[in-house]
Structure formats: structure tokens, C-alpha cells
Amino acid sequence: MSKPLTIADLKTHARRRVPKMFFDYADSGSWTEGTYRANEEDFAKVKLRQRVLVDMTNRSLATTMVGQEASMPVALAPTGLCGMQHADGEMLAAKAAEEFGVPFTLSTMSICSIEDVASVTSKPFWFQLYVMKDRDFINNLIDRAKAAKCSALMLTLDLQILGQRHKDLRNGLSAPPKWTLHHGMQLATKPFWCMDMLRTKRRGFGNIVGHAKNVSDLSSLSSWTAEQFDPQLSWKDVAWIKERWGGKLILKGILDEEDARAAAETGADAIIVSNHGGRQLDGALSSISMLPRIVDAVGDRIEVHLDGGIRSGQDVLKAVALGARGTYIGRPYLYGLGAMGKAGVTTALEIIGKEMDVTMALCGKRDIQTVDRSVIAETRL
Ligand SMILES: Cc1cc2nc3c(=O)[nH]c(=O)nc-3n(C[C@H](O)[C@H](O)[C@H](O)COP(=O)(O)O)c2cc1C
């Protein structure tokens, strides 16, 4: 394998190593995938100002997100089934993030459990919550995240009903994979993935099975998920979740100024401008195009973060310049994980960090905390 220089290189490697149904699960958006594509493409519409003869020594990318230190303004986004890109994927990604000094967010729909990730990390990680109708299960999940000393809770607001992703339906996606001829053939061509997967016992939804009522095995899980996500979730629920949690709260999935204002009223610590990586409402605007409007609406009242479409350190710099205190990457680290395990997640972070550092210098800045709209030449968003 040649040394990956870009996130696109990691994607190419991941495609070779990960069974098609799981690679496609990461590399997909809902319906036409128009919003998924727009998230990436719109970053190219933001142009940077080239500056010269500015001292560029002693540069720093260090910052804070919800008051917690980060070596650069990038966190790992919560991704379901991360442990199907690589065996024990969440534990590997969390360790890579910890060593790099950036936050890792564990999804409710992870393969490794909260306790698994806590057992291999020494610094706090963040936990993402999907709200289900079974409130006992949700209360218990919040308590488990507290017991594991998670230092922020991320409440996802944009997936109470699932956007249709054609690739997953066509592939018959499940975790663990079903033993059909179609799936067997996909697995047979990925022997290294299979060998790693046979060595771990973590192949189901670790936060759910054995903890939620009537879910003792995986065959009942898909119907349980479809039935259990609460379509009546409302702003009022944010209040009791905030109270039960009692720590830093991040609201994920804001793409509208009115919703951003309502989110700021809740007393949460941050919002994430996000369309779930183009996996929910296809036809929605890209995250980066909505960022300036949302920052103008609420930027002095709540910390604003962004995810969706970041594929380089330049993209992070542009988001910071347009007012994001922090950003998240989903697919870039999943591609790294699928390609090379923990080393691949580290490589993804290194690629993004290096690109951001050099870009910042060429824009005439030495400290990420001083990057603002003055580094932008023009936007065609
Ligand atoms: C494979 C995959 C699984 C995801 N699972 C979750 C999840 O369980 N919870 C959640 O809040 N967001 C989930 N997301 C959305 C991400 O947290 C994030 O919003 C998105 O990946 C950002 O876009 P990017 O992949 O272009 O960086 C998932 C995204 C992907 C690609």
C-alpha cells in the first residue's frame, strides 16, 4: 500500500479492504445523495486570501471545544456500526483520538459499548444519544455515560425517522452480516477484515443488546430500532435530558436559523450545524453554506460547531474562518479505520492537521484562535 497523502487515498484503500455493504454504508447519503455531494462540493466555493511576508513561526492549532482542550478544532463524529469498518473500530478510533488530543464521540448505535471504550481510554470521551421511546433505557444509557466519565453528551436531533439510503437497502445491510450467498461472496473477497472480525467478540450493537427490554439477540434488533426511535421528540425533552445528564450538552443536527435560536434558548453548550452528512433530508442545503447564517443568528449566545463534507485541513480552516469553534469528521476517519485500523485514524488526523497548519501559515496566521472571516477572499455559497 502506498503512503496515503489525502483522505481520498484512505478512501481508496478502505474500499479495497472493507466488505461492500459496510463501505457503502459509510459512503452513502439518502435518496439522490445530492446533499451528501453538496456538503463536499460547497467547500470549494469558499476562497482563501493569500498573504505574504508575515512571520509564520510558532504556529498553533490548539483550541477548546465546549471548554475542553483539543490539539486542533476537529473531533471524531459519532458513527453507527463503526466497529464494522474494522474489528473493535470504536476502541481503536477512541485510542487514536486520545493520543492525537482530539475528542472522540461514541454513537448510541456503536458496536463496542460505552464500557468497552472506557476500558481502553484514560481521558474522557463524548457520548452521542439517540432518544428512544423506552425512557428507562435512555435514562440508563445517560447514567452509563456518566459512570464512564464521558465529558459531554451529544444529543442528535435530526434522526427520529430514518432517511432512506438506497445502497443499504440494496445491500441488505445488517450487523453482523447475514449468512446469505450474496453476503458470503462479499466477505470472501475481504479475508483480512474477516480474520480480524473472527478474533473479536464485538459484532452486535454493544450499547443496546442486553440493556434494552426484549432485545436479547440481534435478530429482534432491527425491528426494535424502527419501532423505538421517538418521533415525538420535542424541545421540551431537551430540558429533562439536560437535567438528567448535568454536564456539557451539545445539540447536533441544526440547519436552520430558527432552530438555532431555539437551541440557544435551551442553555445547551454548543450546537452542531449538520445535516447528518447528507444521510437524512436529501435536498437540504450543505452545512458550510448554512454556517455563516447560523453564526450571525446565534454566534454570541452559544458555541457553534460544524460537520459535513470536511475532507481536508483547508475545509476545517474555512469552517473556523466562517465562525465554527470546532468541527467534526465522520467519513474521513472511517476510511482511515477501514484502510489501516487505528493507524489509519491517526493518519486521517495527521493529514488534516498538516493541511490546516500549512494553509493557516499561507493565509498569514499563526494561531487558529485568530482565524476569522478576514482570511476569506470570497464565498460563492
Ligand atoms: C457511517 C455513518 C454513520 C453515522 N452514524 C451516526 C450516529 O450513529 N449518530 C449520529 O448522530 N450521527 C451519525 N452519523 C453522522 C455523523 O455524526 C456526521 O454528522 C457526518 O458523518 C458528518 O459528515 P462527514 O461524514 O462528511 O464528515 C453517521 C455518519 C456516517 C457516515
Q: pLDDT tens digits, residue range 81-104?
A: 999 999 999 999 999 999 999 999
For residue 70, the SS3 value is strand
Split at pLDDT 50, 70, 90, the class of 221 is: low
9 CB neighbour count, 10 Å cutoff: 18
Residue nearest to atom 4 of ligand 1 (CA): 79
Amino acid sitting at position 3: K
Mention every residue, 6+ apart, whose C-beta is less than 8 A from residue 296.
none
State the distance from the centre of ligand 1 to the C-alpha of 107, rounded, in angstroms.
9
When pLDDT is averaged across residues 101-113 and rounded to a whole number, the result is 97
- Look-up of cell digits 498569514: 364
Each residue of 44-62: pLDDT tens digit? 999 999 999 999 999 999 9
Distances (CA, A) of 23 to 15, 275, 306, 342, 376: 6, 20, 24, 17, 35
Tell whether ligand 1 has an atom less than 6 A from the beta carbon of residue 128: yes
Distance CA 150, CA 113 (A): 13
Tell whether ligand 1 has an atom less than 6 A from the beta carbon of residue 252: yes
For a mutational test of ligand 1's pocket, the pick from 79, 90, 131, 255, i.e. the residue with the most ligand atoms closer than 8 A to its C-beta, is 79
Each residue of 337-348: pLDDT tens digit? 999 999 999 999
- Residue 218 scores a pLDDT above 60: no
Cell of 358: 500549512
pLDDT of residue 214: 73
Cβ–Cβ under 8 Å, residues 46 and 309:
no
**Burial environment of residue 54 by CB neighbours within 10 A (0 to 12, 13 to 18, 19 or more):** exposed
Each residue of 236-262: pLDDT tens digit? 999 999 999 999 999 999 999 999 999
Question: Which residues make beta-bridge pairs with 73?
Answer: none
Tell whether ligand 1 has an atom less than 6 A from the beta carbon of residue 337: no
Of ligand 1's atoms, which has the minimum distance to the CA of residue 274?
A: 19
Tell whether ligand 1 has an atom less than 6 A from the beta carbon of residue 11: no
- Residue 333 scores a pLDDT above 90: yes
pLDDT of residue 181: 82
When pLDDT is averaged across residues 289-296 and rounded to a whole number, the result is 98
State the distance from the centre of ligand 1 to the C-alpha of 365, rounded, in angstroms.
31
pLDDT of residue 295: 98
Mention every residue, 6+ apart, whose C-beta is less than 8 A from residue 92.
86, 337, 341, 342, 345
State the distance from the centre of ligand 1 to the C-alpha of 309, rounded, in angstroms.
11
Tell whether ligand 1 has an atom less than 6 A from the beta carbon of residue 277: yes
Handedness of CA 268, 269, 272, 276 (dihedral sign): negative
Split at pLDDT 50, 70, 90, the class of 4 is: very high
- Residue 79 scores a pLDDT above 90: yes
pLDDT of residue 169: 86
Residue nearest to atom 10 of ligand 1 (CA): 78
Tell whether ligand 1 has an atom less than 6 A from the beta carbon of residue 270: no
For a mutational test of ligand 1's pocket, the pick from 161, 250, 279, 306, i.e. the residue with the most ligand atoms closer than 8 A to its C-beta, is 279
Each residue of 186-206: pLDDT tens digit? 888 999 999 999 999 999 889
Q: What is the DSSP string of 187-230?
A: HHT-HHHHHHHHH-S--S-TTTTTTSTT-SSGGGHHHHHHHHB-
State the distance from the centre of ligand 1 to the C-alpha of 52, rounded, in angstroms.
38
Of ligand 1's atoms, which has the minimum distance to the CA of residue 36?
A: 26
pLDDT of residue 223: 66
Handedness of CA 128, 13, 192, 24 (dihedral sign): positive
Each residue of 144-179: pLDDT tens digit? 999 999 999 999 999 988 888 899 888 888 767 777
Per-residue burial over 86-123, b = 16 or more CB atoms within 10 Å of its CB, e = otherwise: bbbbbbbbbbbbbebebbbbbbbbbbbbbebbbeebee
Split at pLDDT 50, 70, 90, the class of 180 is: confident
State the distance from the centre of ligand 1 to the C-alpha of 331, rounded, in angstroms.
7
Please give the mean pLDDT across all residues of the chain.
94
Of ligand 1's atoms, which has the minimum distance to the CA of residue 328?
A: 27
Cβ–Cβ under 8 Å, residues 365 and 371:
yes
State the distance from the centre of ligand 1 to the C-alpha of 277, rounded, in angstroms.
6
Could you give the residue ranges of the DSSP H alpha helices within the chain? 7-17, 20-26, 34-41, 89-100, 114-120, 135-147, 166-171, 181-188, 191-199, 221-228, 235-245, 257-265, 287-298, 313-321, 331-340, 342-362
Nearest partner of 132 among 121, 142, 118, judged by Cα: 142
- Residue 219 scores a pLDDT above 60: no
Of ligand 1's atoms, which has the minimum distance to the CA of residue 275?
A: 19
- Look-up of cell digits 435560536: 261
When pLDDT is averaged across residues 268-290 and rounded to a whole number, the result is 98
Distance CA 218, CA 174 (A): 9
Percent of the chain scoring above 90 in pLDDT: 84
Report cis status (omega within 30 of 0) of the bond before 231: no
When pLDDT is averaged across residues 269-289 and rounded to a whole number, the result is 98
Catalytic annotation on 276?
yes
State the distance from the centre of ligand 1 to the C-alpha of 284, rounded, in angstroms.
16
- Residue 225 scores a pLDDT above 80: no
